[in-house]
């Protein structure tokens, strides 16, 4: 595995039935960064995330996580190694309480070291105070923003090294999107690497260190957000001047980097 990389997806081919969606995806994520994947609908972004999570099998290529070849590893076993998933649509268990949802997120943790559960739960509830006030409420009664917090909190219950976050802003009000931005920055600041798929390009660029653009099942452009070719990115995403204005502000919006020692 290349030095500094926590995830390498090399030449990944995947799809459904006779349909091939990914045609040789190469995606590398450095330890500690936020990497974002952008693309038009149908580009293969969410399928890439499902392959990384182990929910869709790779038909070809190789996936390495933290030095382990996980290409053929089951999703549950990937969680045990340190890969957590925040799925598109959040997919909380509506009929279960908030606490029960969090316990399900800690399934591999409790199998590995049951004594750590209480401390990890407290840490997650400290990070998401609203969940502490709703512990016994059915998850289906939470607002969209609260469900987003629950989905992220549930993923953190497994103490992941890498968190896969698929379309987190979908359906959220702008004020809640801002809260989510702060939340994901805080998660990343604890050392958790994040791989993000996002339709809201402005949100993704404000959060990410590295941007990857997909077209027709391939990564066609990548680079550090601070050094992005704005015109090229706008052209690839087909959003023209609007994106150009959005991206032009990312230099000041990107998370501040520590000054050299």
119-172 confidence digits (pLDDT tens): 999 999 999 999 999 999 999 999 988 999 999 999 999 999 999 999 999 888
Q: Is residue 224 part of a domain?
A: yes
Report the pLDDT value the prediction gives residue 15, as an integer from 0 to 100: 96
Residue 23, in any domain of the structure: yes
Spatial CA neighbour of 83 closest among 29, 128, 47: 29
Task: Count how many domains the chain has.
Answer: 1
Tell whether 129 is covered by a domain. Answer: no
pLDDT at 76 over 80: yes
The answer to whether residue 124 sits within a structural domain is: no
**Is the confidence at residue 54, as pLDDT, over 60?**
yes
Does the pLDDT value for residue 242 go beyond 80? no
CATH code (residue 30): 3.40.50.300
Torsional class of 253: left (φ above 0), alpha (ψ -120 to 50), beta (otherwise): alpha
Q: Which residues pair with 211 in a beta bridge?
A: 36, 223
Mean pLDDT, the chain, rounded, equals: 89
Judged by DSSP in three states, 56 sits in: coil
CA distances from 220 to 91, 169, 196, 239 (A): 30, 24, 17, 16
For residue range 189-217, list pLDDT tens digits in order: 999 999 999 989 989 999 999 999 999 99
In a domain, residue 189? The reply is: yes
Q: Which pLDDT score, from 0 to 100, does residue 109 have? A: 86
Higher-pLDDT residue of 261 and 168 is 168
Q: What is the pLDDT of residue 113?
A: 84
* Between 202 and 34, the higher pLDDT residue: 34
Let me know: does 82 contact 248? Beta carbons within 8 Å.
no
Among candidate residues 77, 156, 75, the one with its CA nearest the CA of residue 112: 77
pLDDT at 42: 92
The pLDDT score that the predictor gives to residue 110 is 85
Does residue 132 lie in a domain region?
Answer: no
The answer to whether residue 27 sits within a structural domain is: yes
Q: How confident is the model at residue 2 (pLDDT cuts 50, 70, 90)?
A: low
**What per-residue confidence (pLDDT) applies to 112?**
85
Is the full-model pTM beyond 0.75? yes
What per-residue confidence (pLDDT) applies to 161? 97
Structural domain for 49, as ranges = 5-88+161-248
Classify residue 60: in a domain, yes or no. Answer: yes
Q: Is the pLDDT assigned to residue 77 strictly greater than 70?
A: yes
Give 248 or 57, the one with higher predicted confidence.
Answer: 57
């Amino acid at each position: 595995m290349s030095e500094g990389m926590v995830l390498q997806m090399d030449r990944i081919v995947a799809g459904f039935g006779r349909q091939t969606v990914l045609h040789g995806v190469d995606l590398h994520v450095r330890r500690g960064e936020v990497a974002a994947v952008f693309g038009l609908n149908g580009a293969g972004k969410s399928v890439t995330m499902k392959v990384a999570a182990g929910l869709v099998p790779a038909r070809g290529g190789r996936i390495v996580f933290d030095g382990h070849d996980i290409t053929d590893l089951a999703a549950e076993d990937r969680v045990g190694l340190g890969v957590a998933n925040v799925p598109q649509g959040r997919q909380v268990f509506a009929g279960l309480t908030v606490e029960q949802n969090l316990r399900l997120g800690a399934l591999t943790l409790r199998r590995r070291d049951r004594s750590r559960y209480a401390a990890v739960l407290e840490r997650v509830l400290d990070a998401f105070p609203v969940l502490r006030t709703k512990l016994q409420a059915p998850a289906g009664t939470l607002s969209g923003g609260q469900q987003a917090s629950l989905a992220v909190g549930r993923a953190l219950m497994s103490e992941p090294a890498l968190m896969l976050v698929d379309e987190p802003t979908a359906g959220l009000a702008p004020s809640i999107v801002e809260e989510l931005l702060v939340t994901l920055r805080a998660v990343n600041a604890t050392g958790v690497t994040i791989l993000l798929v996002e339709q809201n390009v402005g949100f993704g660029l404000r959060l990410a260190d590295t941007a990857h653009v997909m077209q027709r099942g391939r990564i066609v452009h990548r680079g550090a957000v601070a050094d992005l070719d704005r015109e090229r990115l706008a052209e690839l995403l087909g959003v023209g001047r609007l994106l150009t204005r959005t991206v032009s502000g990312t230099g000041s919006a990107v998370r501040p980097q520590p000054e050299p020692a």
